[in-house]
Amino acid sequence: MSEQVTVDTQIQDIIDAHEVVLFMKGTKSFPQCGFSSRVASILTYMKAPFHDVNVLENEEIRQGIKNFSNWPTIPQLYVKGEFVGGCDIITEMTLSGELDQTFEAKGVSYDKAAIEEIRSQNS
């Protein structure tokens, strides 16, 4: 039990320390899974500052984040402490404009023109 508390505390500390956190396989500069690559690419293209956590480097974090969020897959995006979703949800939110709304509501900076360009290229 205390080990899980430690992992949960570690995860919470990471989430608390950064406005936007992406738990992913690999890093933003070297994603090691297509789904992680897609979300990291969206955030990078939007010029949204985000902290990446490579779950492949730590098995406790890799499993712990799934338990923490009660979400079975990676990547997982957190914005200002709130779990937003995984790859499919982030993709849908990007195309629908919900991701912009989430960032604006939480005061996170991003490039509005870039996200509009993503939408126009995918419509």
- Global pTM value: 0.94
The residue whose two tokens read 């991701």 is 99
Kindly give the pairing relationship between strand 51-54 and strand 20-24: parallel
Q: Where are the domains of the chain?
A: 2-121
Output DSSP code: residue 57. G
- Of 39, 21, 36, 25, which is closest to residue 78 (Cα–Cα)? 21
Q: pLDDT grade, residue 123 (50/70/90)?
A: confident
CATH numeric code, 2-121: 3.40.30.10
Q: Model confidence over 63-105: pLDDT tens digits?
A: 999 999 999 999 999 999 999 999 999 999 999 999 999 999 9
Condensed to tens digits (0 to 9), the pLDDT of residues 23-56 reads 999 999 999 999 999 999 999 999 999 999 999 9
- Rounded-to-integer distance, Cα 11 and Cα 54, Å: 12
